[in-house]
């Protein structure tokens, strides 16, 4: 994760604490919560994929000679960077919360 403000570790610890609390629930509730989280993270990843795909198309445009070409490339770079951050945050949610919910 590219966050440099230390919040990534705070999120990880918070997710692990939430997983501990959820694991105290009956198995049916844990299973339902993990399934709901799985659907949510799947939808986030799908939406992120759409953003990344559209950004890739934007980067392939032939903007030679266009006055805004450099601005478009700069903005596309910002989108690429932000998408990477979001992807890492979603993976942290999956690894430190969803995957820690015991359903056995």
Per-residue pLDDT of the chain (104 residues; tens, 9 = 90+): 445 567 788 999 999 999 999 999 999 999 999 999 999 999 999 999 999 999 999 888 888 778 888 888 899 999 999 999 999 999 999 999 999 999 98
CA separation for the pair 32, 22 (Å, rounded): 11
- Quick one: pLDDT at residue 67? 82
Confirm whether 33 is domain-assigned. Answer: yes
Confirm whether 73 is domain-assigned. Answer: yes
Confirm whether 2 is domain-assigned. Answer: no
Number of domains in the chain: 1
CA separation for the pair 82, 42 (Å, rounded): 18
pTM of the model: 0.82
CA separation for the pair 10, 15 (Å, rounded): 9
Contact at 8 Å (CB) between 96 and 12? yes
Domain of residue 16 covers: 7-100
Confirm whether 39 is domain-assigned. Answer: yes
CA separation for the pair 101, 75 (Å, rounded): 38
- Quick one: pLDDT at residue 5? 65
- Quick one: pLDDT at residue 89? 94
């Amino acid at each position: 994760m590219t966050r440099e403000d230390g919040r990534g570790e705070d999120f990880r610890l918070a997710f692990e604490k939430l997983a501990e609390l959820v694991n105290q629930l009956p198995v049916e509730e844990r299973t339902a919560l993990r399934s709901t989280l799985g659907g949510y993270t799947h939808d986030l990843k799908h939406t992120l994929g759409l953003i990344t795909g559209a950004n890739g198309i934007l980067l392939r445009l032939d903007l030679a000679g266009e006055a805004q070409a450099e601005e478009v490339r700069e903005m596309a770079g910002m989108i690429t960077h932000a998408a990477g951050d979001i992807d890492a945050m979603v993976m942290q949610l999956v690894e430190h919360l969803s995957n820690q919910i015991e359903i056995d």
